Amino acid sequence: MSSDFREAIYRQPENLRAASEAFREAIDDVDVGALCTGTIVLSGIGASASALIPAMVALRAAGRRAFAVSAGELRVDGAARLGDAFVLVSQSGASAETVDALRYIEGAPVVAISAKGDSPLAQAADVWLPLGPLPDTPVATLSYTATLQALGMLCDTLLGTPVSSVWDRLPDLAVDVLERSDPVVERLADRFAQIRALDAVGGGPAHASAAETALLARESLRLAATGMETREYLHGPLEAVAPGFGAVVFGRERERALAAELASFGATVALLTDAPGDVDGVGVIELPEVPWLAAPVLQILPVQLLVEHTAQRRGLTIGVLRRQQQDTKVT
């Protein structure tokens, strides 16, 4: 049985290709390197906040001062002094907290990343960079992966390196990941449909995948879910894991060992990794090895499919949100 959510998952390769082309055209018309000097503050809310993490990690690894903060944290007097430039991300360009943050960072250079150039966020920024053209689902699919890609391409530009060829290959890689992982996660969904809580764990750029997995589980499966960075997770939070828990783990050696340990505690575990090899008691989903800025784009695709299959088994329709709040978007 198909659904709007499933169809959107499978349209992501198309959207990534279009988004990459649009981004390259837009970036050729501006000098973001001159705009984004000194300390860079990346900000967004919801799924956009998760997508900030790989860019922050990459910039720091290259010696740039970079911080990722929730848009809500910028709504304080003096926020403009937190950074020399701000990158604000919102798929709609109308997230209330992100748009409101503009008042507190007035005078600082602002790069906006959103789907539409006529959105409130894009109109107020010094520079607007586009996401993909396809409309998103109520629970983010296309916009999340397009945001990861846009921020990755922006990092390439800011670091003065040629825009990586991985962005040209990414749509084809995404097609392959979707086709190969779909039957694997469909089998796993029978077990994940029985869990009562979910932990998602990943290190480095994969911390973004963990955070987004937890948000997907809450929005789509109505599960208590937490996303954490690997080393932080090892310092106590896994104490609650027991039969009835689910875990989605992203990474290699340390995460592979963690996945096995979680399974030994009785949890239902999926491991997404680019390091091949089975793990006892764990559903392993193998991914292609790509540069780390691009890896989270591919990591989240099997998770989206897992959520879709699990929702079917739980009798849930993804995108029908019971707890809608009326003050999260500006008109």
> Which domains, ranges and CATH numbers included, belong to the chain?
4-163 (3.40.50.10490), 168-313 (3.40.50.10490)
Collapsing DSSP to helix, strand or coil, 176 comes out as: helix
The pTM of the full predicted model, rounded to 2 decimals, is 0.96
SS (H, E, C) 229-288: EHHHHCCCHHHHCCCCEEEEEECCHHHHHHHHHHHHCCCEEEEEECCCCCCCCCEEEECC
CA distances to 14, 79, 82, 88, 328 from 72, in Å = 32, 11, 14, 12, 11
pLDDT of 28: 87
pLDDT of 24: 92
Distance, in Å, from the CA atom of 235 to the CA atom of 161, rounded to the nearest integer, reads 37
pLDDT of 2: 58
**How many other C-beta atoms can be found within 10 angstroms of the C-beta atom of residue 10?**
18
Q: Nearest to residue 287, comparing CAs of 189, 209, 232? A: 209
Task: With cut-offs at 50, 70 and 90, classify the pLDDT of residue 38.
Answer: very high
Task: With cut-offs at 50, 70 and 90, classify the pLDDT of residue 165.
Answer: confident
Distance, in Å, from the CA atom of 176 to the CA atom of 330, rounded to the nearest integer, reads 38
Backbone angles phi, psi at 73, to 5 degrees: -75, -15
Structure tokens belonging to residue 255? 């995460």
pLDDT of 331: 73
pLDDT of 86: 96
Q: Nearest to residue 247, comparing CAs of 171, 256, 97? A: 256
Residue with tokens 């005078």: 107
Report CA torsion sign: 263, 139, 129, 97: negative
Residue 31: pLDDT over 90: no
Supply the mean pLDDT for the chain.
94
Q: What would the pLDDT profile of 79-133 be if each residue is shown by its tens digit?
A: 999 999 999 999 999 999 999 999 999 999 999 999 999 999 999 999 999 998 8
DSSP-assigned beta bridge partners for residue 286: 273
The torsion angle over the Cα atoms of residues 45, 189, 315 and 241, rounded to 10 degrees, is: -60
Collapsing DSSP to helix, strand or coil, 43 comes out as: strand
**How many other C-beta atoms can be found within 10 angstroms of the C-beta atom of residue 326?**
6
* Alpha helices (runs of H) in 119-164, residue ranges in sequence order: 120-124, 142-158
CA distances to 55, 98, 165, 263 from 87, in Å = 11, 10, 23, 39
pLDDT of 298: 98
Q: Which has the minimum average pLDDT: 2-6, 48-52, 170-174, 277-281? A: 2-6
Nearest-5° Cα angle at 212, 246 to 151: 150
